């Protein structure tokens, strides 16, 4: 081979892979591959939101099946085993596959926009977090085709141990906890680094949006508590399959140990789910009151205070267990103490609305509904923090009502406010205001109809987790009212689903700033471009968009003066 031939051959070997890669890159690809392979925080946020909403519909159907079973005395719609399975699926779905990933979706989409970043700090890690969450949901719901879990979403031992529930359903629940837990831990690390290191020029901690403050507090709790529940479910798995004896009292284990480990995660989990809703309310109220948030520093500090105090209250779920009196008093007082930073938020929110120029848009309806319903849930929470009262109503429908007043009225109302507030930014389309207000009133009335009367059921002695009751108990009318309320609540959610589907096709074009918002996501287009901002503005206040609009008006005035 001549030197010239050798040179041409070497050139071909170098250039051929580049030519092939170029031609492959130019080949048309199906649209869905962009979503599967994306590392764009906005697309990952949308994936979280769509997936979690799908699981929300599944969890809602499961709730309606339970309420249908309880609508009449001695009902046989569901047998005891199927009822327990549906109850377990519903509780687990709503906590691990709906509320937490919904907030992960909004956080992924909005945090880089609010802090003026181009993307999350670790885009590939961000994508991995979503796929781990999806894998956990698939593993969990695959158990429906084999042996669904039936030990409740708390999986109390020794009920959840192998001798009592030998199928694979509890194992699927354990794997769900592991997969979604890893997803949440990675997402929290990513969120914390993004907020700490990628803020826009001029955005110090004292100018950070309150939604971001709530996510910082949430991340702290996730990083401290999820490893504990991961260890607990691993111990349960080894008890079930490898002969260990952590939780079985018959061989020297302790069922109390499971409760301590689970609730050390479980009570902060309530605040993990509710703190982002606090952040949403803190963003929505000043926009539609047309005035600055009242007590910015107090609201931000109270989020961190809640994160700290939430680690000190777990045993108030265990007041019916043989704890020492000193422990009962400590956890009673700490449970009351956490009401203080929460009350600080509520008072500041009310002060924000006071004498404001109120704009009655749908996001404000859901935010105001949140204030009413969550406050009611907080009052019953203080009642349950008093251990003599708690012992009388523990494991009754009074606790079920309290729990749902906090989470459904709190987290879900916050989610709905976020959907109506940020849908124009995500899609570039406005949701229909008339349908939005119909959805609000159906959800508000349906929620009160479903859960307010359950306080009375609990006080009259109806235990939680029962699949039927006798006609001589006097509970039938109240349960029927609760079931009718549940279907009204479901109709309200369905109206929002229809509103979203309709607006995606023919909603009014939103523009970059339809609400006259306060934070940086309203500075860019709707929806934002792949790089988020053409120019990242300097932040000069807690409400940077107000300053930017003032500068635009001043520039326009000077131009007209010439």
Q: Which residue out of 40, 62, 119, 283 is catalytically annotated? A: 119
Q: Which residue out of 42, 240, 267, 402 is catalytically annotated? A: 267
CB of 483 within 8 A of CB of 457?
no
Residue 107: partners with Cβ closer than 8 Å, 6 or more residues away: 45, 187, 191, 215, 276
Q: Is 317 a catalytic residue?
A: yes
Prediction pTM value: 0.91
Position 172 scores a pLDDT of 94
Buried-exposed string 336-354: b where 16+ CB fall within 10 A, e elsewhere:
eebbebbebbbebbebbbe
Q: Is 316 a catalytic residue?
A: yes
Position 70 scores a pLDDT of 96
Position 13 scores a pLDDT of 59
Q: Is 550 a catalytic residue?
A: no
Q: Which residue out of 143, 425, 464, 467 is catalytically annotated? A: 464
Q: Which residue out of 342, 352, 478, 526 is catalytically annotated? A: 342
Position 167 scores a pLDDT of 84
Residue 342: partners with Cβ closer than 8 Å, 6 or more residues away: 302, 306, 378
Position 24 scores a pLDDT of 45
Residue 396 phi/psi, 5-degree rounding, is -115, 175
Q: Is 156 a catalytic residue?
A: no
Q: Which residue out of 62, 239, 248, 269 is catalytically annotated? A: 269
CB of 287 within 8 A of CB of 210?
no
Residue 17: partners with Cβ closer than 8 Å, 6 or more residues away: none
Q: Which residue out of 35, 153, 156, 441 is catalytically annotated? A: 153
Q: Is 213 a catalytic residue?
A: no
Spell out the SS3 assignment of 188-240. HHHHHHHHHHCCCCCCCHHHCCHHHHHHHHHHHHHHHHHHHHHHHHHHHHHHH
Buried-exposed string 259-295: b where 16+ CB fall within 10 A, e elsewhere:
bbbbbbbbbbbbbbbbbbbbbbbbbbbbbbbebebbb
Q: Is 184 a catalytic residue?
A: yes
Q: Is 464 a catalytic residue?
A: yes
Which regions in the chain score pLDDT beneath 70? 1-30, 557-562
Q: Is 271 a catalytic residue?
A: yes
CB of 384 within 8 A of CB of 411?
no
Q: Which residue out of 345, 404, 429, 455 is catalytically annotated? A: 345
Q: Which residue out of 41, 67, 90, 199 is catalytically annotated? A: 90
Q: Is 342 a catalytic residue?
A: yes
- Using alpha carbons, list the distances in angstroms from residue 77 to 64, 73, 231: 12, 11, 38
Q: Is 267 a catalytic residue?
A: yes
Position 552 scores a pLDDT of 80
Q: Is 413 a catalytic residue?
A: no
Q: Is 83 a catalytic residue?
A: no
- Using alpha carbons, list the distances in angstroms from residue 129 to 63, 144, 190, 199: 28, 24, 10, 22
Position 95 scores a pLDDT of 93
CB of 112 within 8 A of CB of 188?
no
Q: Which residue out of 183, 352, 362, 450 is catalytically annotated? A: 183
């Amino acid at each position: 081979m001549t030197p010239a031939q050798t040179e041409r051959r070497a050139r071909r070997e170098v250039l051929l892979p580049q030519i092939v890669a170029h031609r492959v890159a130019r080949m048309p690809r199906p649209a869905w591959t962009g979503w599967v392979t994306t590392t764009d925080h906005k697309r990952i946020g949308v994936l979280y939101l769509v997936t979690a909403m799908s699981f929300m519909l599944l969890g809602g159907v499961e709730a309606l099946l339970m309420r249908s079973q309880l609508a009449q005395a001695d009902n046989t719609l569901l047998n005891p085993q199927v009822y327990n399975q549906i109850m377990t699926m519903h509780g687990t779905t709503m906590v691990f596959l709906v509320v937490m990933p919904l907030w992960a979706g909004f956080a992924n989409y909005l945090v880089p926009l609010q802090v003026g970043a181009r993307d999350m700090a670790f885009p590939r890690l961000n994508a991995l977090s979503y796929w781990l969450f999806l894998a956990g949901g698939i593993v969990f719901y695959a158990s429906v085709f084999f042996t669904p879990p039936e030990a409740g979403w708390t999986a109390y031992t020794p009920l959840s141990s192998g001798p009592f529930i030998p199928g694979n359903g509890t194992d699927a629940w354990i794997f769900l906890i592991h997969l979604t837990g890893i997803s949440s831990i990675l997402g929290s690390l990513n969120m914390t680094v993004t907020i700490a290191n990628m803020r826009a020029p001029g955005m110090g901690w004292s100018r950070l949006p309150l939604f971001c403050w709530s996510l910082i507090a949430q991340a702290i709790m996730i990083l401290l508590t999820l490893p504990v529940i991961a260890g607990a479910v691993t111990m349960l798995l080894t008890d079930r399959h490898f002969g260990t004896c952590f939780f079985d009292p018959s061989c020297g284990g302790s069922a109390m140990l499971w409760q301590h480990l689970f609730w050390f995660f479980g009570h902060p989990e309530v605040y993990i789910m509710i703190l982002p809703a606090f952040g949403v309310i803190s963003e929505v109220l000043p926009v539609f009151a047309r005035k600055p948030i009242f007590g910015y520093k107090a609201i931000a500090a109270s989020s961190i205070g809640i994160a700290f105090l939430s680690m000190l209250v777990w045993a108030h779920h265990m007041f019916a267990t043989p704890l020492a009196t000193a422990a009962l008093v400590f956890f009673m007082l700490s449970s009351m103490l956490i009401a203080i930073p929460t009350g600080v938020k509520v008072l500041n929110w009310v002060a924000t609305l006071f004498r404001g120029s109120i704009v009655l848009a749908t996001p404000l309806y859901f935010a105001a509904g949140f204030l009413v319903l969550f406050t009611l849930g907080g009052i019953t929470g203080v009642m349950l923090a008093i251990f003599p009262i708690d012992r009388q109503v523990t494991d009754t429908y009074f606790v079920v009502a309290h729990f749902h007043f906090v989470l459904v009225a709190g987290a879900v109302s916050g989610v709905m406010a976020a959907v109506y507030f940020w849908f124009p930014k995500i899609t570039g389309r406005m949701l229909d205001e008339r349908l939005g207000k119909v959805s609000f009133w159906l959800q508000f009335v349906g929620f009160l109809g479903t859960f307010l009367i359950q306080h009375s059921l609990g006080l009259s002695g109806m235990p939680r987790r029962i699949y039927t009751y006798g006609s001589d108990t006097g509970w039938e009318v109240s349960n029927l009212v609760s079931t009718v309320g549940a279907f009204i609540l479901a109709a309200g959610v369905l109206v929002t689903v229809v509103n979203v589907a309709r607006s995606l096709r023919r909603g009014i074009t939103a523009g970059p700033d339809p609400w006259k918002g306060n934070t940086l996501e309203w500075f860019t287009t709707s929806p934002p471009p792949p790089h988020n901002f053409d120019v990242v503005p300097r932040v000069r206040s807690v409400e940077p968009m107000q300053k930017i609009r003032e500068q635009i008006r001043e520039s326009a005035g000077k131009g007209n003066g010439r």
